[in-house]
């Protein structure tokens, strides 16, 4: 469809259809359905993410929360890893992008003059390796887990755990930074080719040596060591210990206690060992000794098993989701236009999904709300092609609408704008500051009643971050300077719905108003 806009008149807003529940796609005991070959994957606590060989990234989740779903589907990626309530990925340009809850600054990803090539995300901190062999870490630093050693060079791999980080150098030596065990036990050892550091889903740390043998540290009660290697990778979820042999076969042992040796877990162990030869794998556990497992076979196909997988489907599966239709555009001025569409949601109930808007092939917005999008970057005289898709609560994207091609030649100066630009209805409440050290603090606030797309955080008048949740971690401050923070709650339509101000006179005291 193509239209030519010459005057600006508001149009009647379409009405959403009746709401209903998104159909649940139950996983069979084993699935291998990702549409493209898998290049990298991650079995997170709350999502399953896959990067295919065409550098496309997709994440799926059971939870109705965009923090587990990537911010767009346009950017190309090479690697992905998930922490507790956030995920990070490396773009094909070598940059790092993170999304999710902003607690402890986990979304404050670093920049580098050379491309990043590897990333590891733990519960509340992450580390990345660039192509020059240097490591960057960010996030929570209660145990020195982000204090990269002074000899920051010649690293070839990076690993993170709940309270520490480790890397291996080209010489084969492993270097760890943390003041806790087992990091102090692993530090300085040679010949380690892979390691898993203890995290929320595993109280055990395991390493694999270049001889194909392994060793585990930490709480390791009642699991017999693996003895049928050689292995290339070993993982524990504190219930089960699994090793990937050099021939691609899996070897797993369960903890020898009644609560873990259930028929369900025994069957899962047998299913894992019956998989075709694998090239990579990961495993987690949830609660009451329920487990999950994902692996990629030698043909790059994804297999996921278990009864506690964080998603009811795998990346690449498709569903019959509503398709937005009847796109139209109302121009309100030289730089403001509103895109509107119709959508029939009568086939779903319960939690409502979101809409994703594409302009000239690039995603420009995703959020909850009515079937409309206010484009404040619109320019009279430029051609635009708009498309809209529906996003289910688990992150599944439906088909895009029929494109709407717009050639906006001019606007009508006699028609006043119907957009109220910046008219915050209320102030943010519950503002609170917490100090974590001499160079870091965190700001918290209450969520407004309206649906909020993001919170823009200004420090001394300059925009420093846009975060999805009601907190911001700032590790770029010092004890002597004064700071003023302004937090703007931005609605799905791009309007400022609430403002909050926080004054930091010094680290000797905080003042909020």
Query: Residues 441, 401: one domain?
Result: no
The 3-state DSSP class for residue 104 equals helix
Q: Is residue 419 part of a domain?
A: no
Query: Residues 434, 506: one domain?
Result: yes
Structural domain harbouring 13: 2-18+319-408
**Given this model, what pLDDT does residue 482 score?**
76
Query: Residues 7, 115: one domain?
Result: no
Q: How far apart are CA 483 and CA 502, in angstroms?
A: 8
What's the pLDDT tens digit per position in 57-78? 999 888 766 678 887 778 999 9
**Given this model, what pLDDT does residue 333 score?**
66
**Given this model, what pLDDT does residue 122 score?**
95
Q: Is residue 23 part of a domain?
A: no
Residue for token digits 């992450």?
126
Q: Is residue 104 part of a domain?
A: yes
Q: Residue 51: pLDDT above 90?
A: yes
Task: Name which of 18-22, 44-48, 275-279, 286-290 the model is least confident about.
Answer: 18-22
Percent of all residues in the chain with a pLDDT value above 70, rounded to a whole number: 83
pLDDT band, very low/low/confident/very high, at 318 (cuts 50, 70, 90): low
Query: Residues 436, 384: one domain?
Result: no
**Given this model, what pLDDT does residue 64 score?**
61
**Given this model, what pLDDT does residue 259 score?**
75
Residue at a domain's end among 408, 437, 467: 408
Other beta carbons less than 10 A from residue 434's beta carbon: 12
Q: Is residue 358 part of a domain?
A: yes
**Given this model, what pLDDT does residue 176 score?**
96
Phi and psi of 186, rounded to 5°? -80, -30
Q: Residue 24: pLDDT above 80?
A: no
Cβ within 8 Å of residue 166, ≥6 positions away: 158, 159, 160, 174, 175, 176, 177, 183, 186, 187, 195, 197
Residue at a domain's end among 345, 374, 408: 408
**Given this model, what pLDDT does residue 17 score?**
28
pLDDT band, very low/low/confident/very high, at 50 (cuts 50, 70, 90): very high
Number of domains the chain contains: 3
Query: Residues 11, 128: one domain?
Result: no
**Given this model, what pLDDT does residue 30 score?**
40
Give the burial string for 370-406 (b: 16+ CB within 10 Å, else e). ebbbbbeebeeeeebebbbbbbbbbbbbbeebebbeb
Q: Is residue 268 part of a domain?
A: yes
Q: How far apart are CA 162 and CA 107, in angstroms?
A: 17
CA triple 214-90-200, angle to 5 deg: 45
CATH number for the domain that contains residue 398: 2.60.40.10
- The helix, strand and coil proportions of the chain, stated in percent and rounded to the nearest 5, come to 5, 45, 50
Mode of pairing for the β-strands spanning 426-427 and 496-506 = parallel
Residue at a domain's end among 375, 408, 441: 408
Query: Residues 172, 96: one domain?
Result: yes
Within 140-246, strands assigned E span 155-160, 165-169, 174-177, 192-196, 204-209, 214-218, 231-236, 240-245
Query: Residues 279, 390: one domain?
Result: no
Q: How far apart are CA 390 and CA 396, in angstroms?
A: 8
pTM over 0.75: no
Phi and psi of 400, rounded to 5°? -75, 155
CA triple 129-132-135, angle to 5 deg: 30
Q: Is residue 24 part of a domain?
A: no
Q: Is residue 27 part of a domain?
A: no
Query: Residues 125, 266: one domain?
Result: yes
Q: Residue 188: pLDDT above 60?
A: yes
Q: Is residue 453 part of a domain?
A: yes
CATH number for the domain that contains residue 246: 2.130.10.30
Query: Residues 99, 171: one domain?
Result: yes
Query: Residues 329, 292: one domain?
Result: no
Q: How far apart are CA 330 and CA 338, in angstroms?
A: 5
What's the pLDDT tens digit per position in 413-461? 332 322 233 334 467 888 888 877 777 888 999 888 778 888 888 887 7
Query: Residues 116, 12: one domain?
Result: no
Query: Residues 61, 188: one domain?
Result: yes
Strand partners, 236: 241
**Average pLDDT of the chain to the nearest whole number:** 81
Is 360 exposed, middle or buried, given 0-12, 13-18 or 19+ CB atoms closer than 10 A? exposed
């Amino acid at each position: 469809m193509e239209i030519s806009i010459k005057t600006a008149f508001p149009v009647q807003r379409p009405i959403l259809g009746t709401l209903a529940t998104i159909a649940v796609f139950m996983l069979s005991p084993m699935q291998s359905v990702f549409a493209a070959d898998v290049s990298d994957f991650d079995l997170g606590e709350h999502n399953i993410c896959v990067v295919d060989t065409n550098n496309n990234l997709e994440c799926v989740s059971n939870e109705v929360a965009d923090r587990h779903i990537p911010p767009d589907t346009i950017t190309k990626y090479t690697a992905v890893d998930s922490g507790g309530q956030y995920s990070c990925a490396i773009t094909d340009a070598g940059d790092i992008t993170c999304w999710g809850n902003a607690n402890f600054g986990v979304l404050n990803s670093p920049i580098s003059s050379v491309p990043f090539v590897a990333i590891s995300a733990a519960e509340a901190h992450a580390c990345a390796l660039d192509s020059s062999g240097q490591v960057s870490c960010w996030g929570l630093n209660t145990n020195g887990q982000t204090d990269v050693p002074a000899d920051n060079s010649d690293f070839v791999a990076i690993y993170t755990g709940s309270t520490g980080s480790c890397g291996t150098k080209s010489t084969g030596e492993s270097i760890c930074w943390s003041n806790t065990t087992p990091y102090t036990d692993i530090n300085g050892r040679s010949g380690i080719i892979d390691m898993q550091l203890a995290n929320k889903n595993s109280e055990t740390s395991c390493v694999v040596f270049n001889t194909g043998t392994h060793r585990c540290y930490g709480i390791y009660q009642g699991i017999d060591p693996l003895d049928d290697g050689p292995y290339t990778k070993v993982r524990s979820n504190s219930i089960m210990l699994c090793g990937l042999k050099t021939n691609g076969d899996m070897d797993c042992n369960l903890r020898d206690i009644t609560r873990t040796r259930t028929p369900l877990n025994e069957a899962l162990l047998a299913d894992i060992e019956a998989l075709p030869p694998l090239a990579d794998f990961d495993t987690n556990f949830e609660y009451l000794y329920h487990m999950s497992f994902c692996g990629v076979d030698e043909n790059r196909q994804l297999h996921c098993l278990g009864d506690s997988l964080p998603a009811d489907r795998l990346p690449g599966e498709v569903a019959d989701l509503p398709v937005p239709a009847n796109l139209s555009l109302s121009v309100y001025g030289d730089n403001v236009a509103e895109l509107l569409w119709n959508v029939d949601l009568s086939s779903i109930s319960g939690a409502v999904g979101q809409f994703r808007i594409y302009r000239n092939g690039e995603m420009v917005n995703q959020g909850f709300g009515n079937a409309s999008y206010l484009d404040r970057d619109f320019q009279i005289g430029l051609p635009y092609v708009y498309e809209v898709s529906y996003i289910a609560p688990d992150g599944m994207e439906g088909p895009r609408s029929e494109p709407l091609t717009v050639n906006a030649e001019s606007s009508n100066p006699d028609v006043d704008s119907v957009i109220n630009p910046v008219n915050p209805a209320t102030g943010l409440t519950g503002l609170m500051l917490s100090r974590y050290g001499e160079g870091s603090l965190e700001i918290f606030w209450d969520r407004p009643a309206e649906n909020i797309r993001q919170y823009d955080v200004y420090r001394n008048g300059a925009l420093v971050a846009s975060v999805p949740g009601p907190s911001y971690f700032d590790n770029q401050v010092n004890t002597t300077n004064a700071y003023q923070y302004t937090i703007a709650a931005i609605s799905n339509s791009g309007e400022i719905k609430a403002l909050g101000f926080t004054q930091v006179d010094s680290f000797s005291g905080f003042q909020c108003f």
